[in-house]
Amino acid sequence: MDPKGQRVKLNDGHFIPVLGFGTAEAKEVPKSEALEVTKFAIEVGFRHIDCAHVYQNEEHIGQAIRSKIADGTVKREDIFYTSKLWCTFLRPELVRPALEKSLKNLHLDYVDLYIIHFPLAMKPGEELLPKDENGKLIGDSVDLCHTWEALEKCKDAGLAKSIGVSNFNHKQLEKILNKPGLKYKPVCNQGELESPCSLGGLSSLCHCQKAQANPSSGCPSLPDTTWGCCSGQELQQEADQREHTGV
C-alpha cells in the first residue's frame, strides 16, 4: 500500500495520514513556489499538508489546496491540514485570533490539526522573533496550561478538529496532561528527528496517553530550516533553558 494513503487513529477519534508533506522553505526560496510544489504534492498522493504561521506561506498553501479541490483531484475532507500556533501568540487571548488569521489566509473553515509550535513564549507583536538591542530573544510570561485551554476552546468552536503540541519535552508534556480540568489530551507531540526532545523517552509517555509522537524532517536539501537567524533547534534550546532557569 502507498504509505501516503495510510492513516492512524488519533486519541480523539480522528485519523491522520502517516506521511505528511512539509512546507517549510529556506529563506532564499520565493514563497510563491509553495503554490506549485504543494499542488504537485497533492497530485502525487500526499493528503497531509503540514504548515505553520511562521513559514509565512499559508496563503499560497491554501491556494494550492483550493485549486486541487476545484479541479476535482480531492475533496476538502480528503486533505488533512496541520497549522501551528507561533510563539508570539501563546497568550490565551491571542490563540483564537491567530488561528482565525491562518484560516483567513488559507480561505478554509477549519484546520484538521492545530498545535503549539514551541513551548517558548515570546513578546507579542508583528515580529516573528522579537529581540532586544543585544540580539537576545524577548520572552513573555505565559502559563502553557492556559494556552492549552484556549486551544481546547478552538476545538469546541469547530475551528480545529484536533489539537496537539510540538517540540515539547517530557516535563512540558506532563504539565499539560496533568492539568486540572483537562478537557482534551494532545493528540500528538511533533518534533524534528534531529531535535533532542523529539522522541527518546517521550515515546513511552505518548504511548500510554495514546498520543502520537510524530517525527518530522525537512527536505533533504533544507537540513536546517531557519526563521530570521534562529533555527528550530536553537529555539528548542532556548525553551529548555528558560524552563530550567525560570526566566
Average pLDDT, the chain: 85
Q: How much is the pLDDT for 31?
A: 80
Place of cell 526532545: 197
What is d(CA 235, CA 207) in angstroms, rounded to the nearest whole number? Answer: 26
- Under the banding of pLDDT at 50, 70 and 90, the label for residue 191 is confident
Distances (CA, A) of 35 to 25, 66, 243: 12, 11, 38
Residue 96 is which amino acid? Answer: R
Asked about 55 being catalytic, the answer comes back as yes
224 contacts 200 by C-beta, under 8 angstroms: no
pLDDT of residue 140: 97
Active-site annotation holder among 55, 110, 114, 184: 55
Chain CA centroid to CA 70, Å: 26
Percent with pLDDT over 90 in the chain: 70
30 or 54, higher pLDDT: 54
Q: Please, which residues have CB within 8 angstroms of residue 134's CB and are 6 or more apart in sequence? A: none
**Is a pLDDT exceeding 90 seen at residue 201?**
no
177: left (phi over 0), alpha (psi -120 to 50) or beta: alpha
User: Which among 117, 39, 35, 37 is positioned nearest to 82, based on CA atoms?
Assistant: 117
pLDDT at 141: 96
More confident residue, 1 or 156: 156
Distances (CA, A) of 243 to 16, 100, 164, 178: 31, 29, 20, 17
pLDDT of residue 32: 82
Q: What is the pLDDT of residue 238?
A: 61
Q: Which residue has the cell 528548542?
A: 236
pTM of the model: 0.84
